[in-house]
Amino acid sequence: MDARRAAILEAMGIDRFVARAPLVEPLSSPSASVQSTGPVVAPATPSGVDDLDVASLDWDALAGQVATCTRCALAAGRSQSVFGGGDRAARWMIVGEGPGAEEDRAGEPFLGSAGQLLDSMLQAIGLRRPQVYMANILKCRAPGNRDPHPAEARCCMPFLQRQIELVDPGLILCLGRIAAHSLLGVETPLGQLRGRVHELKPLGRKVVVTYHPGYLLRTPGEKRKVWADLQLAMETARGQRA
């Protein structure tokens, strides 16, 4: 491990030995450990909520729809929607939960302390923010940063699905329980979603789940597990494209 990476891991609060001895079970090859988790959109969808057809939209048209979206009540409370940002041809896509107050003001994802920790996590695996694409399940801030209601997440899902199609990433790193449940269409506890590679159907993308940086700020003891998740993500991303 070089000195720079060691310093970044130290800043994340990760003991160096963890890189050599991850706490999760030993990993098989990504292809062998892929688990199919079914369709992206949860089957129990109220009629009319997820039927938005954005499949043919390009980036500008999609961003325009998100900017003017009024599909759910969150539109009324936003300063602006937060579409996503970064490299639109990235190999890595990061999926979070939704904008907070800072993101709502600035219109950019992952600002503030959670965003800084996410930057450190990415740096630890040799990535910088402009090299990935970041988006959220929700494009509008939920009041008081409460958890999104399932119907709100479903309203937003066609936008995220189209972003995934357009980016065409080799690996999606999904941050936290809310994002994982919405994206994968499951209700499995986060601890059981970690440590394996999920396949997102029908888009056919590989997804690795880890803790949300906001949760890590409150529970720094879990950072070591995140380092193991990042290693799985790197291994998976390497297997996707030469």
CB of 29 to ligand URA, least distance (A): 30
Nearest to 211 by CA among 146, 142, 114, 138: 114
Least CB distance to ligand URA at residue 51 (A): 26
* Position among 83, 92, 110, 227 found at the interface with ligand URA (CB under 6 A): 110
Instruction: Show contacts with ligand URA in window 123-182 (CB under 6 A).
Output: 136
Whichever of 136 and 231 has its CB closer to ligand URA, that residue is: 136
Q: Which is nearer to ligand URA, 30 or 181 (CB)?
A: 181
For 171, half-sphere exposure in the C-beta direction (CA atoms, 13 angstrom radius) is 26
Among 114, 124, 207, 216, binds ligand URA (CB under 6 A): 114
Q: For ligand URA, which residue of 22, 30, 86, 100 counts as binding (CB under 6 A)?
A: 100
The stretch among 16-24, 43-51, 73-81, 92-100 that binds ligand URA (CB under 6 A) is: 92-100
Please identify which residue in the block is written with the tokens 């980036």: 59
Q: Which residue is nearest to ligand URA (CB)?
A: 96
In the shown chain, the binding pattern of residues 206 to 235 toward ligand URA, with x for contact by CB under 6 A and - for none, equals: --------x---------------------
* Segment interacting with ligand URA (CB under 6 A) among 44-52, 68-76, 95-103, 201-209: 95-103
Which residues are near ligand URA by CB under 6 A?
96-100, 103, 109-110, 114, 136, 214
